[in-house]
């Protein structure tokens, strides 16, 4: 049985761990609130953009010189994956889940004989994929140290992807990120950026009629040329802020668990400590009494 | 019946209110949007959006570019960046103009699309300076 001193030291160390985890939980909770507000504030723009894009896509998709960003290159040989994770750990399985989803996707695509390229956003995803797939990673971004994700940060990544598409360096682009479902649930999700998935879902709502008759100024192509890169940036931005909110949620519940576990452990150790102390007292008493009897 | 004007930027919904008329800086010239306007999707250049209520302009916002969707009931502006004219800072506007001028001067004169993009940025910055002056 451990000595009393060792037990006391152990209890103190678990107590300070509990203080840290509960503080981290509080911090995550307040950051979560902020991230959630940001995610909600960004929603109107994305929704309206989607609506506009649907109207435009319907009238432009048929034309033979529709932009590449809308219909893709017509092939699916080179696949670009954008993997969005957090920069910090201690958030439960948050980063690992995305990492695993990315790994599965890479294995699946390579199994089909496709070429895979990866851009990572966030340090943890890079660290995870670097071990096995270092040579597929062509770019890495990290916004560590930033209080919140700004739209201008995302622009940089989106500009890179746009340039790559223009140069024909990939055919299909997919983002893998943690979708924020609720504070305790984040689902790793794959979302396609290029070609736009809405085209395939289109036909059923086509006969809606009157709302399709937009006029365009200057013309459809000029608007699409400006709108599509914008849409790409918005989709990425959305993935990033959802992931940021998810990270805080995941950290909050991970730290909540850790705090609870630390509490349980303290209770167990305290019980153990008291028993040991009692045992020591009893033993000493027995020694004294039997010593006295021997006289 | 007024038309509903909505101005959204990537990080938030800036404004959503009924107005009698909105004048938006479309790529091919200012455009007044009244209730019952034909459905349109337009590209915006840098400039100011003016809200008209009760026959006079009530407030003005600077946008650096974006898109607008006009329907008979509604006018939705997706701005790259939107700021009420009163809050446009003169010095920031001038700094941006200087930057845009430099970028234009540095741009490859043979690369027409890049040149045009640089020119658009320049014009947006000029509009911003003008907005700051008007405020």
Q: In this predicted structure, which of A33-37, A262-266, B44-48, B106-110 has the lowest mean pLDDT?
A: B106-110
Q: Taking a C-beta distance cutoff of 8 angstroms, is the pair B37, A215 a contact?
A: no
C-alpha to C-alpha distance for A247 and A95, rounded to whole angstroms: 8
DSSP-based three-state secondary structure for B46: coil
Mutation for testing the B interface, residue in A45, A146, A223, A230 having most B CBs under 10 Å: A45
Which pLDDT does position A65 carry in this prediction? 65
Strand pairing partners for B13? B8
Q: Kindly compute the dihedral angle of the four CA atoms of residues B49, B128, B67, B109, in this order, to the nearest 10 degrees.
A: 150
- Chain A CB contacts of B72 below 8 Å: none
Instruction: Give DSSP secondary structure letters for chain A.
Output: ---HHHHHHHHHHHHHHHHHHHHHHHHHHHHHHHHHHHHHHHHHHHHHHHHHHHHHHHHHTTSTT--HHHH--S--SEEEEEEE--S---BTBHHHHHHHHHHHHHHHHHHTT-EEEEEEESHHHHHHHHHHHGGGEEEEE--TT-SS--HHHHHHHHHHHHHHHHTT--SEEEEEEEEEEETTEEEEEEEEEES-THHHH-GGGGGG-GGG--EEES-HHHHHHHHHHHHHHHHHHHHHHHHHHHHHHHHHHHHHHHHHHHHHHHHHHHHHHHHHHHHHHHHHHHHHHHHHHH-
What is the ipTM score, two decimals? 0.80
Chain A segment 156-195 residues within 8 A of B by beta carbon are: none
DSSP classification of residue B87? G
pLDDT, one tens digit per residue, over A92-125 is 899 999 999 999 999 999 999 999 999 999 999 9
Nearest chain B Cα distance for residue A158, angstroms: 14
Higher pLDDT, B108 or A258: A258
Q: What is the mean pLDDT of residues B109-133?
A: 81
Q: Which of A150, A152, A113, A143 is nearest to A125 (CA)?
A: A143
Model confidence at A281, in pLDDT bands (50, 70, 90)? very high
Query: How many residues in total does chain B contain?
Result: 135
Whether the predicted pLDDT of B72 surpasses 70: yes
- How far lies A215's CA from each of A211, A212, A227, B45, in Å? 11, 9, 16, 18
Chain A segment 193-212 residues within 8 A of B by beta carbon are: 211
Chain A segment 230-269 residues within 8 A of B by beta carbon are: 230, 233-234, 237
C-alpha to C-alpha distance for A44 and A50, rounded to whole angstroms: 10
Which pLDDT does position A288 carry in this prediction? 95
**B8 in contact with A at a CB cutoff of 8 Å?**
yes
Whether the predicted pLDDT of B135 surpasses 50: yes
Higher pLDDT, A253 or A70: A253
Helix (H) or strand (E) holding B66: strand B66-71
Q: How far separated are the first and last CA of chain A, in Å rounded?
A: 31
3-state secondary structure A201-246: HCHHHHHHCHHHCCEEECCHHHHHHHHHHHHHHHHHHHHHHHHHHH
Nearest 5°: the CA angle B68, B73, B74 is: 25
Model confidence at A207, in pLDDT bands (50, 70, 90)? very low
Query: Angle at which helices A94-111 and A123-133 pack, to 10 degrees?
Result: 40
DSSP classification of residue B112? H
Within 10 angstroms of residue A25's Cβ, the number of other Cβ atoms is 18
Whether the predicted pLDDT of B134 surpasses 80: no
- How far lies B20's CA from each of B15, B17, B50, B57, in Å? 15, 10, 11, 10
- Of 3.30.460.10, 3.40.50.11810, 3.40.30.10, 3.40.1380.10, the CATH number of A24-205+212-253 is 3.40.1380.10
pLDDT, one tens digit per residue, over A24-59 is 999 999 999 999 888 888 888 888 888 888 777 777
Q: In this predicted structure, which of A154-168, A190-204, A270-284, B41-55 has the lowest mean pLDDT?
A: A190-204
Q: What is the mean pLDDT of residues A209-233?
A: 77
Which pLDDT does position A289 carry in this prediction? 95
């Amino acid at each position: 049985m451990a000595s009393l001193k060792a037990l006391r030291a152990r209890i103190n160390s678990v107590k300070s761990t509990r203080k840290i985890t509960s503080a981290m939980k509080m911090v995550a909770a307040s950051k979560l609130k902020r991230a959630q507000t940001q995610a909600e504030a960004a929603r109107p723009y994305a929704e309206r953009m989607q609506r506009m894009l649907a109207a435009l896509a319907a009238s432009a998709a048929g034309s033979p010189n529709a932009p590449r960003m809308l219909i893709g290159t017509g092939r699916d040989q080179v696949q670009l994956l954008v993997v969005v994770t957090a920069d910090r750990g201690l958030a439960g399985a948050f980063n690992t889940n995305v990492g695993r989803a990315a790994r599965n996707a890479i294995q699946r695509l390579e199994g089909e004989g496709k070429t895979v390229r990866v851009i990572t956003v966030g340090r943890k995803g890079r660290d995870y994929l670097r071990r096995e797939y270092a040579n597929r990673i062509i770019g890495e971004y990290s916004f560590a140290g930033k209080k919140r994700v700004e739209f201008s940060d995302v622009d940089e990544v989106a500009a890179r992807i746009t340039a790559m598409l223009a140069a024909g360096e990939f055919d299909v682009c997919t983002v893998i990120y943690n979708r924020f479902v609720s504070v305790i649930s984040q689902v790793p999700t794959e979302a396609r950026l290029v070609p736009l998935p809405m085209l395939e879902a289109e036909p059923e709502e086509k006969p809606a009629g009157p709302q399709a008759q937009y006029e365009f100024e200057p013309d459809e192509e000029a608007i699409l040329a400006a709108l599509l890169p914008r849409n790409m940036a918005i989709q990425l931005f959305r993935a990033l802020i959802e992931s940021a909110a998810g990270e805080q949620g995941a950290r909050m519940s991970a730290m909540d668990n850790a705090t609870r576990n630390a509490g349980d452990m303290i209770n167990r150790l305290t019980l153990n400590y008291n028993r040991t102390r009692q045992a020591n007292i009893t033993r000493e008493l027995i020694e004294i009494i039997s010593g006295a009897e021997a006289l | 019946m007024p038309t509903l004007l909505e101005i959204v930027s990537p990080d938030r919904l800036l404004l959503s209110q009924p107005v009698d008329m909105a004048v938006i800086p479309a790529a091919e010239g200012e455009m007044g949007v009244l209730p019952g306007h034909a459905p349109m999707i337009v590209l915006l250049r840098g400039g100011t959006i003016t809200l008209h209520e009760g026959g006079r302009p009530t407030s003005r916002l600077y946008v650096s570019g974006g898109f607008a969707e006009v329907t008979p009931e509604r006018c939705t502006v997706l701005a790259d960046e939107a700021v009420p004219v009163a809050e446009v800072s003169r010095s920031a506007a001038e700094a941006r103009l200087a930057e845009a001028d430099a970028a234009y001067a540095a741009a490859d004169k043979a690369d027409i699309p890049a040149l045009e993009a640089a020119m658009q940025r320049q014009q947006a910055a000029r509009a911003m300076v003008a907005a700051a002056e008007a405020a």
